[in-house]
Amino acid sequence: MNSSTIGRISALLLRYFFLLRSSWPRLLEIAYWPTVQMIIWGFTSVHFSNSSPELTAGGILISAVLVWDSLFRSHISYTLSFLEEMWSRNLANLFVSPLRPWELILSLATVSMIRTLIGMVPAALLAIPFLESQSLNLVFPCSDSFSTLFLPDGRFHRRSPVSYYATDWVQKA
Amino acid sequence: MIKPDSLLKVDRLSKRFRSKWAVNELSFSLSPGSIMGLLGGNGAGKTTTLSMLLGLLEPTSGSIRLFGHDFVKNRHTVLHRMNFCSPYVDLPQRLTVRENLRVFARLYGVDNSSARIEELTADFRLLELMDQPIRRLSSGQKTRVSLAKALINQPEFLLLDEPTASLSPDVSQWIRQRLRDYRDQTGASILFASHDMREVELLCDEVVMMSHGRLIEQGSPQDLQDRHQRGSLEEVFLALNEQGGGA
């Protein structure tokens, strides 16, 4: 990756940084829904803790919800970042610039990860004191899982990283 | 006619959408430092031609050579030397003028971008608008910002799609003067698509007239008027369209 490529990718990251900075409702919205999900499933988890303790031990249920929501949010973030360019009728400006298609894809993937982190980190941090969840145990498996999702190295087609890490984590827990 | 020293050489360029030929066997060339007008009525194929020259559309057949490179196959080798402006393509609306210019300066790899942005701010009288989001600007102000973005990388080849559409005559005149100044200072070539005959007459060294996707006439505005014994380009265009069955 040469300096021109890094410059072009950083230009798009700067564009999304300016966009997020310009609107606090947009920023709030990113963090809002994961937190709502966490609260709803947190109550559900507490409710089942007496009748089905095996389901909620170590915060399995809430952590699983957070993993699922982070995948869902990363997908939405990726799609929305691309749609944002369409809505603002800016795609032609990007496609006539020296930006290459794979640089656009990499930028959108990076933006999507940043947006997902903005959404998931507050929810995961809130889950620790309120629901006694060990959700931060998932940070390393999840980051590897995301890299597998975003980097087309063929692993995704051999085995779904979601099912791999979910099974692996449940076995360890 | 294709000249040997041309910056841009378009040879038998065609684009078909299903059964309709939007551009049909179009050939022309553009010399370094000249301003060429691509003239035609609605649906003549001007925007399709520009889209192919920008790499947004792939030609059905024909070739485009730009700076000596095969543009269709290697457009990324020359894209940093050109730029584009159109009132039909917006800049990100929520970003301010300054933010937009910073993003595009970085996208085009402009060295010393702060100095370049300051220079353009002064040239295009944008100082008071720099911290305004694009969505709050008037059409004339948006065009000025869009032109500043188009000149951010000091392009050697500039493509403009009706840049003065829906602007008042004084703003149009000011923009024409800025484009002429830019060409004179840098020796850049400009390709200008428009259906405003008067504007093309005032600005362009050479004109390519299109109708139904085909080239119907080519030459300097004065040559065309002399050749067809008419008083203006508009009269030439109307006469050619009558001969060819109208636009």
CA gap A78, A11 in Å, rounded: 17
Please, are residues B157 and B66 in contact by the beta-carbon 8 Å criterion?
Answer: yes
Question: Can you give the pLDDT at residue A64?
Answer: 79
pLDDT of residue A73: 85
Mutate to test the interface with A, among B103, B130, B132, B156 (most CBs of A within 10 A): B103
The residues spanned by each domain of chain B are: 8-89+156-243
pLDDT tens track for B202-213: 899 999 999 899
Between the alpha carbon of residue A71 and those of residues A22, A68, A127, A160, the distances in Å are: 26, 5, 18, 12
- Residue A12 and residue B107: Cβ atoms within 8 Å? yes
Its pTM stands at 0.84
Structural domains in chain A (count): 1
Beta strand B61-66 with B8-17 is antiparallel
Best of A16, A96, A99, A100 to substitute, by most chain B Cβ atoms within 10 angstroms, is A96
Q: Which fold has domain B8-89+156-243?
A: Rossmann fold (3.40.50)
Nearest to B107 among A19, A92, A99 (CB): A99
Q: Does the pLDDT of residue B142 top 80, yes or no?
A: yes
Nearest to A117 by CA among A97, A142, A154, A90: A142
Distance CA A67, CA B127 (A): 48
Q: Tell me the residue range of the domain where A60 lies.
A: 3-172
| Contact list, A22 vs chain B (CB under 8 Å) | 94-96, 133
Q: How far is A98 from chain B (nearest CA, A)?
A: 5
Query: CB under 8 Å, gap of 24 or more: what pairs does B177-182 form?
Result: B178/B123, B178/B124, B178/B147, B179/B35, B179/B147, B179/B203, B180/B35, B182/B151, B182/B158
- Whether ipTM > 0.90 holds is no
pLDDT of residue B219: 94
Burial degree of B184 (CB within 10 A; 0-12, 13-18, 19+): exposed
